[in-house]
Amino acid sequence: MDKTLIFGHKSPDTDTICSALVYADLKNALGLEARPVRLGDVNKETQFALDRFGVEAPELIEKVDDDVDNVILVDHNEFQQSVDNIQDVHISEVIDHHRVANFETKEPLYFRVEPVGCTATILNKMHKENAVILSKENAGLLLSAIISDSLLLKSPTCTQADKEAAHELAEIAGVDLETYGLEMLKAGADLSDKSALDLVTMDAKEFTIGEANVQIAQVNAVDTSQIYESQAAIEQEMKRLISDKGLELFLFVATDFLENDSDVLALGSAKEKVEKAFDVSLDANNRALLKGVVSRKKQIVTNLSEQF
Using CB under 8 A as the binding rule, whether residue 163 contacts a copy of itself is answered as: no
Q: Round to the nearest angstrom and report the end-to-end CA distance of the chain.
A: 62
Q: How far is the CB of 300 from a copy of itself (least distance, A)?
A: 21
Determine, following the binding rule CB under 8 A, whether residue 99 of this chain makes contact with a copy of itself: yes
In the DSSP assignment, the letter for residue 229 is G
Residue type, position 215, single letter: Q
Taking CB within 5 to 8 Å according to partner kind, which of Mn ion, a copy of itself, none is near residue 235? none
- Is residue 100 involved in binding a copy of itself (CB under 8 A)? yes
Of 218, 208, 192, 215, the residue nearest 296 (C-alpha): 218
The partner in contact with residue 15, picked from a copy of itself, Mn ion, none with C-beta cut-offs of 5 to 8 angstroms by kind, is Mn ion
302 is a contact residue toward a copy of itself (CB under 8 A)? no
Asked if residue 9 binds a copy of itself (CB under 8 A), the reply is: no
Choose one: 14-22, 134-142, 197-205, 288-296; the region binding Mn ion (CB under 5 A): 14-22
Of 3-11, 101-109, 137-145, 252-260: span binding a copy of itself (CB under 8 A): 101-109
Q: Assess 156 for contact with a copy of itself (CB under 8 A).
A: no
Q: Which residues between 127 and 166 bind Mn ion (CB under 5 A)?
A: 149
Q: What are the angstrom distances between the C-alpha of 147 and each of 31, 46, 48?
A: 30, 11, 13
**Cα–Cα distance, 143 to 50 (Å, whole number):** 12
Contacting residue, 11, 80, 105, 305, with a copy of itself by CB under 8 A: 105
For residue 19, give the nearest of 70, 83, 76, 89 by alpha carbon.
Answer: 76
Chosen from a copy of itself, Mn ion, none, partner binding at 27 (C-beta under 5 to 8 Å by type): none
Residues near 158 by beta carbon (within 8 Å), at least 6 away in sequence: 117, 149, 150, 151
- The yes or no reply on residue 131 touching a copy of itself (CB under 8 A) is no
Nearer to Mn ion, 240 or 297 (CB): 297
Looking at 40, 86, 111, 126, which residue binds a copy of itself (CB under 8 A)? 111
CB 255 within 8 A of CB 246: no
DSSP annotation string for 246-299: T-SEEEEEEEETTTTEEEEEEESTTTHHHHHHHT----TTSEEEEET---IIII
Interface residues with a copy of itself (CB under 8 A) are 97-116
